[in-house]
Every structure is written in structure tokens, then in C-alpha cells.
Amino acid sequence: MDVAAPGGDSVDQNGDGFVDGVLQQTFGKNPKDWGYWFYQGTSMSAPHVSGVAALLISTGVTDPDDVREALEATAQDLGTPGWDAEYGWGFIDAYAALNYFNIPCDFNFDGVVNFKDLRILVSFWLANELSVDIAPDGGDGIINFLDFAKCSESWNQ
């Protein structure tokens, strides 16, 4: 067990009349039944992990060991502290995984800090969206001049 990811559930916790499975276009139990079906299990969660791995690769993290490290090191710990047999390293966190090897302030993950990232910082600052809170020490719960200063440090890198 390495990590956990959304894989659906066979109960209806949010009461919308459907089981909380992962809705997908595929075959039903009868291979002639092509359509949208709710399913749950490892087959549904593995694509979420694959998707985050693909996002990592798209940002230039291509070494398989680095992809694994980013996924495991940034997973949100569940169950008993640290690795455990039920959740592995925890629940995958796509945004944290993308930031693991990323240059601070490269908010669009294109490998360079420039005006495009500054535009994201300003719009998120105005919306008080804390995913751009990167300073001091990786974030302090407020977006202010310290976060802008952090961006200036890595400008055009």
C-alpha cells in the first residue's frame, strides 16, 4: 500500500439518490450495457493517482522515483500517524504534489516565474485564495507583501 485516492463508495452519504461511486462511461455488468455507471474500488482510485502522476510529468518531473516521492511525501496522512497498511502514506494531494519540486511562485507550473504568475498572485490575493500563500516558510495564512517578495526572489528563474 503506497497511497490512497478517491475510489467511490457504494452508499449514498450525500443523499442525492445515487450511490457515491465514481460515475464513468463504461460497460455495465452485461458487456452489452454501454453507458454511465457508478463503480467503486481500486480500479476507480488508480486513475486518480495516474492523473496526478501525469500532471507531475507534464511539469517536468519525469524520473519515476521523483514522481513517487512527490506523490508519497505530499499525501495527507490518514489513520495512524505516518505510513500504515490501510492508507499507505495517505490521501493524494494533487496541488501539493505539483508544488513539491516546483519553484516557489511558479503558480502556473511552466518552469519560470514571470508576469503570468504575478497575475495569478494578484487575482488570488484579491479573492483571498490561500493557495498562493507561499511565504514566510511556505505560508502563514495571509497573502501580503511577503508573498510578493518571495516571487521577486525567483523572478525569471
Whether residue 45 contacts residue 6, with contact meaning beta carbons closer than 8 Å, is answered with: yes
7 vs 24, beta carbon nearer Ca ion: 7
Choice from 70, 133, 150, 151 touching Ca ion (CB under 5 A): 133
Is residue 140 involved in binding Ca ion (CB under 5 A)?
Answer: yes
Is residue 20 involved in binding Ca ion (CB under 5 A)?
Answer: no
CB of 156 to Ca ion, least distance (A): 10
Choice from 49, 92, 97, 147 touching Ca ion (CB under 5 A): 147
Contacts of 150 (CB under 8 A, 6+ apart): 104, 105, 134, 135
- Helix (H), strand (E) at residue 100: helix 94-100
Is residue 151 involved in binding Ca ion (CB under 5 A)?
Answer: no
15 vs 81, beta carbon nearer Ca ion: 81
C-alpha–C-alpha distance, residues 61 and 41, integer Å: 28
Whether residue 5 contacts residue 87, with contact meaning beta carbons closer than 8 Å, is answered with: no
The binding site for Ca ion (CB under 5 A) comprises: 77, 79, 84, 106, 108, 110, 117, 133, 140, 147
